[in-house]
Structure 1
């Protein structure tokens, strides 16, 4: 896959999981440059319709929030609101901590934590993490406004799971968890029924997203297998592959 919009950025390395961003066992990270490329492709589709300067972004399967946090640092001046949800309350807790780094007080707290680790153990990894944290703090000076963040627990394939979302969402970007459907769907019907498939689950997810999306909106789904589903409310605008990841971008239909 050729990157259309992104070039190497000086803070990509600083956004690596476990350096400044919080990490925990089992939490999957996401390639920073790929996240940026997907976001910019979505934004380009919206800009065809002269959307506002800033957008509301949502990841309904957010995991530890790495994708959203990276996008917040890289594109802060294009994002006004971030929603993050997951079926796992531990994942939501981790996402909340990571997204707190987009605020000066949250990053200052993280810098203090890393400094204490460096003072205690003096490891090169802690010194590198501290350097990265200060680079991110310097980068934050470019932010024109504070990004509002809301994290909550929700089963993306449940009944009306996104009632917490009170602002129309412009862009959805989510990375489907690899492996068993039960990792991200609490619906027994989807897990045990004859239509137990990724496409069925994603179609149900899109049914739920319709209720919170702006009239002009885009959804990007990252998956290990190519999605085949169709939805009456969405038109697939593009598909590309990066490594083993398939990325499909859908735009909401008019009317």
Structure 2
């Protein structure tokens, strides 16, 4: 795949899962460059040029949503992360708290305390990463409004803040699994139509999966497709799924 937006190879080590951003077993990360590319492709398809409200309805740890918020603070107005698993939603809340200066300062202080207690330079280096992320966040607009809560993607509830971009990495079986009111048919097709039903028509959904191709419901045009390594993604317009 040719990158259209995230064209430069940038060192994103400050955003590595399990460093400043929290991780847990069973909650894989997501390639940062691909996350940036997918968000920017989706944002480019919106009718306006203002900042977009973002929703990850299969958020897991909240890593993907937090990364996009930190990378593109100036282009994001609000971040919503939902998951049917209360433990995942709680972890996502911890990561979305890092979309604020206070959250990053507390994380930096925690890491520096660990560095002093255990004498490990790696903790000090990660604390430096938190400080850099805080500086970047402040320069790009400061604290980002956010919400993390439980929610079943197969029985979605309309978000309180209207969403412009849905960006999610769906479960793929090896480490993560579908849960909630799982349908008998293709879960991705049901996800697309269900989530689109609580979105404004202009919204763009970008769904990634560990697959050769992400299928869409019959008759629904794909606005774009992406394939990088073992991941594929598709972008569709909510109005085309209504």
> How far did 1:181 drift?
11
3-state DSSP class of the match of 1:146?
coil
TM-score norm. by structure 2 comes to 0.91
Residue pairs, 1:59-208, within 5 angstroms: 59-158=56-155, 161-163=156-158, 165-179=159-173, 183-187=177-181, 190=183, 193=184, 195=185, 200-208=186-194
The answer as to whether partners of 1:86 and 1:184 remain within 8 angstroms in 2 is: no
Give distance in 2, aligned partners of 1:139 and 1:96: 20
Structure 1 length as normaliser, TM-score? Answer: 0.87
Correspondence for 1:44: 44
Distance 1:181 1:235, change over 3 A: farther
How far off its partner does 1:22 sit? 1.1
Mark the runs of 5 or more structure 2 residues left unpaired by the alignment.
Answer: none
- Identify the residue that residue 33 of structure 1 maps to in structure 2: 33
- Deviation digits for residues 149-171 of structure 1 (CA, Å, limit 9, x no counterpart): 1111111113xx324x1122110
Question: Which residue is equivalent to 2:235?
Answer: 249
Partner of 1:14: 14
Cα 1:124–1:145, aligned 2, differ >3 Å: closer, same or farther?
A: closer
Shift of 1:201: 1.2
**Alpha-carbon separation, structure 1, partners of 2:100 and 2:142:** 10
Offset at residue 229 of structure 1 (A): 3.0
Aligned to 2:214: 227
Q: Secondary structure at the match of 1:118?
A: helix
The separation in 2 between residues aligned to 1:215 and 1:157, in whole angstroms, is: 19
- Deviation readout 1:80-106 (Å, 9 max, x if unpaired): 111110111111111110110110111
* Structure 1 segments unaligned to the other structure (5+ residues): none
- How big is the shift at 1:214? 2.1
Deviations 1:104-157 (A, max 9, x none): 111111011101100111112112101111111221221325321111111111
Give the match's secondary structure for 1:183: coil
Root-mean-square deviation (CA), in Å?
Answer: 2.0
Measure, in 2, the Cα distance between the counterparts of 1:34 and 1:171.
15
Query: Are the equivalent residues in 2 in contact too, given 1:167–1:212 (CA < 8 A)?
Result: no
In 2: Cα distance, 1:81 partner to 1:156 partner: 19
Give the secondary structure class of the aligned counterpart of 1:157. Answer: coil
Moved more, 87-96 or 211-220: 211-220
- Tell me the number of residue pairs that the alignment of Structure 1 and Structure 2 aligns: 239
Q: Is the 8 A contact 2:27 2:175 kept in 1?
A: no
Q: Is the 8 A contact 1:61 1:184 kept in 2?
A: no
In the aligned structure 2, how far is the partner of 1:127 from the partner of 1:108?
14
| 1:235–1:253 CA contact under 8 A, matched in 2 | no
